[in-house]
Amino acid sequence: MELNVLWFILVGVLFTGFFFLEGFDYGVGMLLPFLGRNDVERRVIINTIGPVWDGNEVWMITAGGAMFAAFPHVYATMFSGFYMALFLMLMALIVRGVAFEFRSKDESPVWRGTWDWMIFIGSVIPALLWGVAVTNLIKGVPINEKMIYVGTFFDLLSPYTLVGGLAFLLVFLFHGALYLTLKVEGEMIERVRSVALKGGALAAVVFLACVGLTYTNTDLFSSVLGGTALWGAVAAFVAGYAFTWLKKYGWGFAMSSLAIVLTTAGFFAGLFPRIMVSSLNSAWSLTVYNASSTPYTLKIMTFAALTLVPIVLAYQIWTYWVFRKRVTARDLEY
């Protein structure tokens, strides 16, 4: 296999891992102000993701770094074209990270309530913008023959991409609710299930609308692998909802995870060999061939990845194993 194709797959795997892990992370953050009836319950909710949220974000940083090193032209075009969206996302993530650390430094209800809403905002904005960004990559953005984005921030907003953003947000919310059913205990589980069923029903409608608009607005379904993965994601999401209804939460979370994995895989499969589609001229699209680094650079990166990635994976699996138990009021650190 050519190294530029291999790195396209690796970047896709990194983004898949990021959306799977950070998806429930964002979902928990979105539900925080509404599920916790008192400070102890809100602290329990925060502590379900407290030990892992920053490790989950490493996948985003690694994916961005891999994109920069393997496909520098894509990195440059994307970061200049999506500048405002990425700036807003970065600000939201900074506020969210600060909120996790500062919230319990003072016992004032106003102080803690303010940071709870900062966690909510810092979860909603990235979830929404990731959906807008991914659907823009599939739909195509104005890129000229010099690989330069020639549109504005508002060119990224269309009915399709906004539905895509809303679909990502609601699917992550459903994913986060299912994660919480596995991490909290007692009466809270039933309350979380009720939210998961209501939010999941809305997410199913918007997700189906996003798939339908993907069919009419993009050429993703011309890829057999891409189309199959996306329909598989729909089936997995419906199965996840059914398992939630039956109170089989472990299976429900597994299916919502599979829906996110298949959605991301479908988008990447539909893009290949393109990475950014030009809406002005298909010949001006950035591909794994015209936007990649030199073969020497890719070879060095491959050796580094083969050495370090297993270590990172082992560490993260160990982290989840250590913090695998349900969180109670006796385990509060954040």
Where does the pLDDT of residue 36 fall: very low under 50, low under 70, confident under 90, or very high at 90 and above?
Answer: confident
The alpha carbon torsion through 166, 167, 168, 169 (nearest 10 deg) reads 50
Distance CA 132, CA 120 (A): 19
Q: What is the tens place of the pLDDT at every residue in 285-314?
A: 999 999 899 999 999 999 988 888 888 889
Contact 213, 159 (CB under 8 A): yes
Of 334 and 158, more confident: 158
Q: Tokens 């947000």 sit at which residue? A: 169
**pTM exceeds 0.75, yes or no:** yes
How far lies 122's CA from each of 52, 55, 91, 142, 177, in Å? 16, 16, 8, 29, 17
Q: What is the tens place of the pLDDT at every residue in 222-265?
A: 999 999 999 999 999 999 999 999 999 999 999 999 999 999 99
